[in-house]
Amino acid sequence: MLDADDVRRIALSLPQTVEKERWNHPTFDVAGRMFATVPDDRTSFAVRCPKVDREELIASEPDKFWVPPHEAHSSWVRARLAALEDEKELYDILVDSWHQAAPDDLADRHLP
């Protein structure tokens, strides 16, 4: 089963990613912009997700994705680690969020 250590390992493998502690838990930044975080319970992680896509994503896989009430107005979504199919899915989710946060020139040079 995937866990918070897998999130950390994959996030830190992405170009120019740094880990910072915020709100007493790990967050991951590229070029000073946060793209992932692991909340206190370590059973889920949060990533960037455009609001226009978020509702459809949650509706299509409600056991996997959700937004806590305090994040309803943000462009973030949470994913339950136990609901992910495999490490490839975790990687794809983190890469997508990394691309949203990375400067265009960096994102264009790295990763699909």
Which domains occur in the chain, in start order? 4-105 (3.90.1150.30)
Within 10 A of 2 (CB to CB), how many other CB atoms are there? 19
pLDDT of residue 111 exceeding 70, the answer is: no
Q: Residue 81's pLDDT band (boundaries 50, 70, 90)?
A: very high
Query: What's the predicted TM-score (pTM) here?
Result: 0.94
Q: Considering all CA atoms of the chain, what is the largest pairwise distance in Å, rounded to the nearest integer?
A: 36
DSSP for residue 79: E
CA atoms within 13 A on the CB side of 30: 26
DSSP for residue 81: G
